[in-house]
Amino acid sequence: MGCSIEQILERKRYKYIYTIIMISRIEIHSTIFDTRADSKRKKLSELGFKKKVKKVYLADIYTIEKKVSNSQLQKILIALIDSLVQKADVNKPFIPPSFTWAVEVGYLPGVTDNIANTAKELIENLLKISFKNDEGVYTSQTIFIDGIITEEEILTIANSFYNPIIQRVAIKSAQQYKKRKRDGNYCSKSKT
């Protein structure tokens, strides 16, 4: 696959910026009581973590692997959220008021991601563009857990949130998570 002279110059001068433009993350979180997060908290209580887990927060992640402009990303963001009950950021991780662990769950490469398929169609229709074979949309969810949880316990918790046959999981302490400005490493190549 060849590159235009513009692309080669852009890569040489702005290699880091070019990478950011090619992969964008939209992170959506609730601004009101989140029943899905509360359901996960209840599940953790049933697993014996009732006294250890104070609160659970969720963020839905849409990773877009396509070169799109900032104005196009804002249009996509507006189309994906319900602005009355949700807030979203582009290429900026959601950081809840308090948490000790972040567990991100997404599909493994090759697994059909129906939510991503729908988001991809929405983007194509909204922006009147099409995705090439090496471009796509991928979804994941970050579960933020606030409480006194050991490293061993977070592994047990993470294992309860995903199916290793079709999903992957990444665990970060609050300190590790807050250090990242943007994490493009979780771009699963799911079939879309």
Residue 186: strand, helix, or coil: coil
Distances (CA, A) of 64 to 51, 78, 115, 167, 183: 38, 15, 13, 18, 13
This prediction has a pTM of 0.83
Instruction: Judge whether residue 183 has pLDDT over 50.
Output: no
Residue 182: per-residue pLDDT: 45
pLDDT digits (tens, 9 = 90+) for 102-113: 999 999 999 999
Check if the beta carbon of residue 11 is closer than 8 Å to that of residue 39: no
pLDDT digits (tens, 9 = 90+) for 113-148: 999 999 999 999 999 999 999 899 999 999 999 999
Categorize the per-residue pLDDT at 179 as very low, low, confident or very high, splitting at 50, 70 and 90: confident
**Amino acid code (one letter) for 25:** R
Instruction: Judge whether residue 1 has pLDDT over 70.
Output: no
Instruction: Judge whether residue 159 has pLDDT over 70.
Output: yes
Tokens of 101: 């662990």
Check if the beta carbon of residue 10 is closer than 8 Å to that of residue 18: yes
User: Which ranges of 30-184 does DSSP label H, i.e. alpha helix?
Assistant: 35-44, 70-80, 114-127, 151-161, 174-179
Percentage of the chain with pLDDT > 90? 79
Categorize the per-residue pLDDT at 64 as very low, low, confident or very high, splitting at 50, 70 and 90: very high
